[in-house]
Amino acid sequence: EVQLVESGGGLVQPGGSLRLSCAASGFTFSRYWMHWVRQAPGKGLVWVSRINSDGSDTSYADPVKGRFTISRDNAKNTLYLQMNSLRAEDTAVYYCASYDSSEGYFDYWGQGSLVTVSS
């Protein structure tokens, strides 16, 4: 059974930092691109970042470019999102999602981790 389990969310002050983790199991993690997608309270889904299978190529949405860093440890089957200089508008549930790059779809999603940026 495929499982993606996020952790590391919480309450942080504006300007602060958090690191999200996504532990993967039930599939060959090292073969998959991985993505972070966020959802502000009561809002829709917004793509945040992606990383290719070996970690050599990354992309970011403009609102987080220069502040967020995606990375992965294939030996630990874990995806990360380092979030710095957090703003109120970063408040959201952050989902990690696996991506089948040959078929072009997000096939599995984690349960999400809530990040709240507030003073």
Instruction: Give the footprint of another protein on this chain (CB under 8 A).
Output: 35, 37, 44-47, 50, 59, 61-62, 95, 97, 99, 103-112
**SS3 at position 101:** coil
The CB-of-43 to another protein minimum distance in angstroms stands at 9
Give the angle 62-76-57 at the CA atoms, nearest 5°: 30
Nearest residue (CB) to another protein, 17 versus 65:
65
Distance between CA atoms of residues 35 and 23, nearest Å: 13
The CB-of-106 to another protein minimum distance in angstroms stands at 6
Structure tokens at 77: 């089957």
Instruction: Please report, to the nearest 10 degrees, the dihedral formed by the alpha carbons of residues 109, 8, 49, 44 taken in order.
Output: 60
**SS3 at position 14:** coil
Q: How many CB atoms lie under 10 A from the CB of residue 102? A: 7
Nearest residue (CB) to another protein, 3 versus 17:
3
The CB-of-92 to another protein minimum distance in angstroms stands at 13
Nearest residue (CB) to another protein, 25 versus 59:
59
The CB-of-20 to another protein minimum distance in angstroms stands at 14
Nearest residue (CB) to another protein, 54 versus 57:
57
